[in-house]
Amino acid sequence: MSASDRLGIHGDGAAPTAPRFVVPILIVWTLFVWAQRLFNIWTDDALTATGKLGRTSYVALFVVLAIVVAATWFRRRRGARWWLLLLAAWTIVFWAVRGVQIAFADHSGAFIVVHTVLAMVSILLATAAATLASPTV
C-alpha cells in the first residue's frame, strides 16, 4: 500500500477519505473519554445506585462498540465497516444531543467549554472514521 493510499489520497479523481489511522485514534479516544466518565459516575456520592446504573448504560454502549470495532477492524473481519459506522453514528448523535443539553443547562463556563471540546473532537473523529466505513471506500 502506497503512502497516498494510507493517507486516503487518490489520483483517480475519487474523493479523499480519512487516513486509516483515524480508526485507532477514535477507538483510543472513545475508551479514554468513557473510562474517565465511568470513573466519575461511580465515585459521585451524589448519585443514587439507579442514577449510576442509568448513566453506566450509555457509557457501556460506547465502550462495547469501541472494543467490537477494534476487534473487527484490525482483523479485517466481515461487518467491520458496519460496526465502525454504528460507533461513528452513535458518537455523532450522542454528542449532538448532549452537547446542546449541556450548553443550555445550568453549568459553569469551564464545564461547558470542556464538554464542547470533547464533543467537537469526538464528532470530528467519528465523521472522519465514517468516511472509511462508506461502502464506496
Q: What is the largest CA-CA distance in the chain?
A: 58
Mean pLDDT, the chain, integer: 87
pLDDT, tens digit, 9 for 90 and up, residues 101-131: 999 999 999 999 999 999 999 999 999 999 8
Task: Please compute the mean of the pLDDT values over residues 72-78 and round it to a whole number.
Answer: 85
* Residue 106 cell numbers, joined: 445550568
- Amino acid 76: pLDDT: 81
- Amino acid 136: pLDDT: 52
Q: Using a pLDDT cut of 90, give the percent of the chain over it.
A: 74
Q: What is the pTM of this model?
A: 0.82
- Amino acid 9: pLDDT: 39
Task: Please compute the mean of the pLDDT values over residues 5-20 and round it to a whole number.
Answer: 52
Answer whether residue 4 shows pLDDT above 90.
Answer: no
Answer whether residue 133 shows pLDDT above 60.
Answer: yes
Confidence of residue 135 (pLDDT cuts 50, 70, 90): low
- Amino acid 78: pLDDT: 80
Where residue 8 falls (left for φ over 0; alpha for ψ -120 to 50; beta otherwise) is: left
CB contact set of 95 (below 8 Å; sequence gap of 6+) = 118, 119, 122, 123
CB 98 within 8 A of CB 105: no
